[in-house]
Amino acid sequence: MDPTGELHSAAYFNEQRSFWWNLDFLRLTASRLELERVQSALDVGAGLGHWTATLMEILPAQATVVGVERDPRWVANATERAGQLGLTDRCSYVQGVAEALPFEDESFDLVSCQTLLIHVADPTVVINEMRRVVRPGGQLLLSEPNNIAGMLVADSTTARKPIPELVERIEFALICERGKATLREGNNSVGDLLPGLLAHAGLIDIQCMLNDKADTLTPPYEPDDQQALRDAIVSSAESARWIWSRADTQRYFLAGGGNDPGFERRWQRRLDEARQTAQDLTANRLHTGGGGIHYLVSGRRPT
């Protein structure tokens, strides 16, 4: 949680999350993992229920999904959103924490999460808890990124920047990611480590896939997914945010080994970059392929 009292995740629960995946890719994944057998699923760290709704698109029509979320505000908002989407007959939301899930052992056929483990102090604890509540023969399905990789993806503005400026931006992001992990607030690139963490937790049949959906932006940004992404980027810049708020970024930078006198000028560069990107988007001149690394990793609990 950010020192101002606002939940860190609140800045990211925007409509862009509804466009993170190509549905045909997820249906292929469901076929590979034989998810047609799933009757009950759990979405851990459900937020506003974007991943819950996505799961329901690829699970059998009779399958039910429970979302668990630590903050009662998101439980209420996710429940309301499910009603708007007409999903309340198949999904529900309860309050609870990922490190101590409020369910009996072996309760679900599938236990899943999306961008949860990048926020937890110890992903091993959460994975073990997810393993506890999945039935023997059931699966864990984890959707987590390597966020630092996205810092190397060029757009029509950054592609022209001098190399030292690009290197400085990557270094700043790496320091902040290291500080966030040091403060036990999560590893923003934990996706790289998931296959090994599942193996360590005793899961078998581990599979690792890459999301095939890129965050492409091409003017005039007419598809719904590009409009949502453009709006999210512009809104973040208008709110004077980078990846995180200023307060969180400074905490992470210092905890990661950065020095206080160097923070302000680096932070100002990040805001300048964000504002330039927003201006280019508003003027319909920014374009990018928008690739990145977002894993979908599965493992089965032995019978």
Instruction: Tell me the pLDDT of the chain averaged across its residues.
Output: 94
The pLDDT, as a whole number, for residue 12 is 65
Residue (of 60, 76, 70) closest to 110 by Cα position: 60
Q: Class of the 8-300 domain? A: alpha beta
The pLDDT, as a whole number, for residue 10 is 56
Give pTM, 2 decimals: 0.93
Say how far apart CA 299 and CA 64 lie, in whole Å.
20
Length of the chain: 303
For the stretch 207-244, pLDDT in tens is 999 999 999 999 999 999 999 999 999 999 999 999 99
Say how far apart CA 274 and CA 252 lie, in whole Å.
19
Say how far apart CA 72 and CA 3 lie, in whole Å.
19
Residue 287 has pLDDT above 90, yes or no: yes
Residue (of 187, 50, 189, 193) closest to 120 by Cα position: 187
Determine the 3-state secondary structure of 152 from DSSP.
Answer: helix
Q: What is the mean pLDDT of residues 146-172?
A: 94
Higher pLDDT among residues 287 and 6, named by residue: 287
What's the CA angle centered on 58, arms 108 and 11, to 5 degrees?
Answer: 85
The pLDDT, as a whole number, for residue 7 is 46
For the stretch 109-124, pLDDT in tens is 999 999 999 999 999 9
Q: Is 5 left (phi over 0), alpha (psi -120 to 50) or beta?
A: left
For the stretch 55-79, pLDDT in tens is 999 999 999 999 999 999 999 999 9
Residue 4 has pLDDT above 50, yes or no: no
Residue 168 has pLDDT above 60, yes or no: yes
Q: What is the mean pLDDT of residues 135-148?
A: 97
Please report, as a single letter, which amino acid is at residue 175.
I
Cβ atoms of 237 and 231 within 8 Å: the answer is no
Residue 1 has pLDDT above 60, yes or no: no
The pLDDT, as a whole number, for residue 15 is 83
Confidence of residue 9 (pLDDT cuts 50, 70, 90): low
For the stretch 27-42, pLDDT in tens is 999 999 999 999 999 9
